[in-house]
Amino acid sequence: MRSTTPHEAVPATTPAASLVFTTVLSHGPLTRAEIARRTRLSPAAVTKAVRPLMEVGYLVEDVDEGARPALGRPANLVRVDAGRALFIGIKVTGDEIIAVLADLCCHIRVARHVRLTDREPAAVLPALTALVRELLLEADGFGVRVRGLGLAVSGDVDRTDGVVRYSPFLEWRDIPLAEIVGTATGLPVTVDNDVRALTVAEQWFGAGVGLSDFALVTVGAGIGCGLVVHGRVVSGAHGVAGEIGHLSIDPLGPPCHCGNNGCVEAIAADPAILRGVREATGRPVTTAAEALELAHGGDPGVREVYARAGEAIGRAIGSVVNVLGPERVIISGEGLAAYDLFAEGIRDAFAASAFGTAAQCDVMTRPLPFEEWARGAAATAIQSFIGSDTR
C-alpha cells in the first residue's frame, strides 16, 4: 500500500495512464501525437491519461520549437520529471548487498556496496535495513521523498506475496521478505527475481527498448533468463518462467542442485566451470579469475571446459528462440568475462539448434556492472508505484 503526504497524491493507475507513462519513460520526450501513435490510444485518451500525471508532477510539458507545424503553435513535448521522486533498488548476492538510490527515470544518484560474511537472514536483513536507512538520509539531501523500495534476489521468488520461496545461492527458503523489510523501513516494497528485475530495466532503458519480444540471458553464478513477450515481462503461472538454467540437455551429465542431471547450470555456471577445471587440471582452483588465467594460458583441458559451457548456453538460447521467436537475445552477467572462450561454442550450438528463420534472431552481448542489477530492482519499484506492472 502506498503512503502519501496530505498535499501529494500518487499518480493515476489506470491502464492507459500506466501505458502513457512507461511509453514516455522509455521513448520520451514525445509529442502527444507521437504518444498516441506509439500507444495506439486516441488523442482524447492520451489527453485524459496525461492530465492526472501532470497534476502530480510526474509528467511535464515543454515546447518543442523545432516541431512547429506549417500552421498553428509549435508542438509540446511531454517528458518524465526525473527528479520528482526517488526509489531504492537492492540486489542481494551470496557475498554482498548492492544498493542504489535512483530517480523516476531510474538514473542512479547514489550507489553503495556492503560485504556479507554470513548469508543467514538474521545477519543479512539487519544489514539491508541499515543500508536502506542510510540511503533515506541521502535522499533527504535531494529534497525528494523515496516512494518505493525494490529488492532483487536470485531463485524462486513470489512477487505477488513478496516471498523468497528458494534462493540457492543464499540458501533461503520461504522468507517473507517484503513484509519484513516493509515493516522495518516503512516503505512500499517490491520483491522480484533478480533476472526478471534486470529484464524490466532492459525493457525500459536498455537494449530491449522498442522491442515487443526479447530475451535476456545471464551467465555467471547461475544461468538465468528473463522473457518479454508481446511487450510484457513474463513470470508464468507459478513464477518460474524462463528458467533455462534448468533445461536438462544431457540426462547423463553432472548433477544439478535442483535434483536433475545435465542442466545447463550444472555445465555452464561458474561453480560447474570451477569443478570442471579442477577435474581437468588437478589444481585447487577456487575463483573464476584463476580458471580464466589457466584458459587464457592455453591449457587445453580448461579450454574444453569453457567450450562445453558455451555449447550448453548456445543450445539453451536455441530452445528459447525456437519456442518464443524473440527479436533479440541479450547475453549479460559477470560470466561475460569469459565470453571469448564461450563465443564459438555458443554460436555453433545456437546455429545448429535454431530452427529455420529463428536463426536470424539478433544475439548480442551486453556487459553490465552489478549496480545495474540493483537498478533493475529500482525499476520494479517504479513499475509498482506507477501501476504499470506488466506481468
> What are the pLDDT digits (tens) for 341-386?
999 999 999 999 999 988 899 999 999 988 999 999 999 999 999 8
Binned at pLDDT 50, 70 and 90, residue 2 comes out as very low
Q: CA 366 from chain center: how many Å?
A: 13
* pLDDT reported for residue 68: 55
* pLDDT reported for residue 7: 37
Locate cell 543500508: which residue?
131
pLDDT tens readout for residues 152-175:
999 899 999 999 999 988 999 999
pLDDT tens readout for residues 270-329:
999 999 999 999 999 999 999 999 999 999 999 999 999 999 999 999 999 999 999 999
* pLDDT reported for residue 101: 98
| DSSP secondary structure code for residue 294 in this structure | H
As a whole-number percent, the residues of the chain with pLDDT over 90 amount to: 78
| Helix ranges restricted to H, the chain | 15-27, 32-39, 43-55, 121-140, 177-185, 194-205, 264-268, 270-281, 288-296, 300-324, 339-353, 371-386
Q: What is the spatial distance between Cα 176 and Cα 184, in angstroms, rounded to a whole number?
A: 13
Binned at pLDDT 50, 70 and 90, residue 13 comes out as low
Average model confidence (pLDDT) for the chain?
90
pLDDT tens readout for residues 206-229:
999 999 999 999 999 999 999 999
Three-state DSSP string of 253-264 = CCECCCCCECEH
Contact 9, 2 (CB under 8 A): no
If DSSP codes are grouped into helix, strand and coil, which group holds residue 331?
A: strand
* pLDDT reported for residue 267: 96
Contact 128, 181 (CB under 8 A): yes
Binned at pLDDT 50, 70 and 90, residue 390 comes out as very low
* pLDDT reported for residue 262: 93
* pLDDT reported for residue 90: 98
**Selected residue with higher pLDDT from 390 and 369:** 369
Contact 184, 151 (CB under 8 A): no
Q: What is the spatial distance between Cα 192 and Cα 187, in angstroms, rounded to a whole number?
A: 16
* pLDDT reported for residue 5: 37
**Selected residue with higher pLDDT from 242 and 125:** 125
* pLDDT reported for residue 370: 87
| DSSP secondary structure code for residue 118 in this structure | -
Residue 15 pLDDT more than 70? Answer: yes
Binned at pLDDT 50, 70 and 90, residue 69 comes out as low
Q: What is the spatial distance between Cα 246 and Cα 223, in angstroms, rounded to a whole number?
A: 8
What is the set of domains in the chain, with CATH numbers? 15-80 (1.10.10.10), 84-200+372-386 (3.30.420.40), 210-365 (3.30.420.40)
Residue whose C-alpha is closest to residue 173's, from 165, 181, 163:
165
Residue 9 pLDDT more than 70? Answer: no
pLDDT tens readout for residues 225-263:
999 999 899 887 777 788 899 999 998 899 998 889 999
pTM of the full predicted structure? 0.89
**Selected residue with higher pLDDT from 111 and 387:** 111
Residue range 71-81: mean pLDDT, rounded: 77
Contact 377, 99 (CB under 8 A): no
Binned at pLDDT 50, 70 and 90, residue 8 comes out as very low
* pLDDT reported for residue 375: 97
How is residue 391 written as a grid cell? Answer: 506481468
Locate cell 497524491: which residue?
9
* pLDDT reported for residue 388: 57
* pLDDT reported for residue 287: 93
Residue 193 pLDDT more than 60? Answer: yes
* pLDDT reported for residue 386: 84
If DSSP codes are grouped into helix, strand and coil, which group holds residue 102?
A: strand
